[in-house]
Amino acid sequence: MPLSSVGRFSRLVRLAQSLAVAAVVCISLGATDAASRFDDLGHKMMCQCGCAQVLLECNHVGCPVSPVMRDELSDGISRGMNDSLILQSFVQKYGGVVLAAPTTQGFDLVAWIMPFAVAAAGLLGTIFLVRHWAKQQPVLASSGKPLSAAEVQAEQAMQERIRRETGTDGGI
C-alpha cells in the first residue's frame, strides 16, 4: 500500500472509532438521564398510601398506591414531559401533599422562612432576657466608702456565724 492510502485508512479508522464512542456515550447518557430523573423526581414526592414516606422509599408491604405512582412517573418521563410538568400533574391528581418539600412560591414560602424567623426571635429574646437579669443582679463589690459602726458589727456577726456553722477557724 502506498503511504498516502495508509494515512487515509488510519484516518477513516479513527473517524469510525470516534463515531462509535460518540454513539455509545449518547446512548448511555440518555439511559442514565431518564434513570436519574426518575430517581430525582421520585424523591421529591410522597407516597399517598398513608405511610408518610418518600415515593421511592415506600416500604409498605403490598402498597396499592406506590406502584401506580411509579408507573405514572415513568410514563411522564418516557413521554418527554419536563420535571415541573410531571410534578404539576401529580399535584393536580393527588393535591399539594404529594410534594415532599413545599414550593418556594406563594404561601408555601412561609414554610421555608418560619423556622429561621422563629430561631432568630428566640435568640433575640434570650439575649434580651439575659441582659435584663444581669441588670437586676445585686452589686457585690463594696462602694468604696467606709462602713458605719452598725454595718461593721453586722458583718462581724455574720462572719462569726459562718465560722460556727461551717466549723472553720480562718476567714472567708
Residues 14 and 48 in one domain: yes
Residues 71 and 111 in one domain: no
Residues 88 and 112 in one domain: no
Residues 17 and 83 in one domain: yes
Above 80 in pLDDT, residue 72? yes
Residues 108 and 54 in one domain: no
Say which residue, 163 or 22, is predicted with more confidence: 163
Domain residues for 68? 3-101
What does the pLDDT look like over 18-66, one tens digit per residue?
766 766 555 555 445 888 999 999 999 999 988 989 998 988 888 999 9
Above 70 in pLDDT, residue 8? yes
Query: Which cell numbers in the block locate residue 74?
Result: 415513568
Residues 93 and 129 in one domain: no
Residues 56 and 92 in one domain: yes
Q: How many domains does the chain have?
A: 2
Of 5-19, 102-116, 140-154, least confident by mean pLDDT is 5-19
Residue 160 lies in a domain: no
Residues 78 and 58 in one domain: yes
Q: What is the CATH number of the domain that holds 83?
A: 1.10.8.640
Residues 49 and 123 in one domain: no
CB half-sphere exposure, 57, CA atoms < 13 A: 10
102/108 Cα distance (integer angstroms): 6
Residue 159 lies in a domain: no
3-state secondary structure string across the chain? CCHHHHHHHHHHHHHHHHHHHHHHHHHHHHHHHHHHHHHHHHCCEECCCCCCCEHHHCCCCCCCCHHHHHHHHHHHHHCCCCHHHHHHHHHHHHCHHHECCCCCCHHHHHHHHHHHHHHHHHHHHHHHHHHHHHHCCCCCCCCCCCCCHHHHHHHHHHHHHHHHHHCCCCCC
Q: What is the pTM of this model?
A: 0.49
Residues 56 and 126 in one domain: no
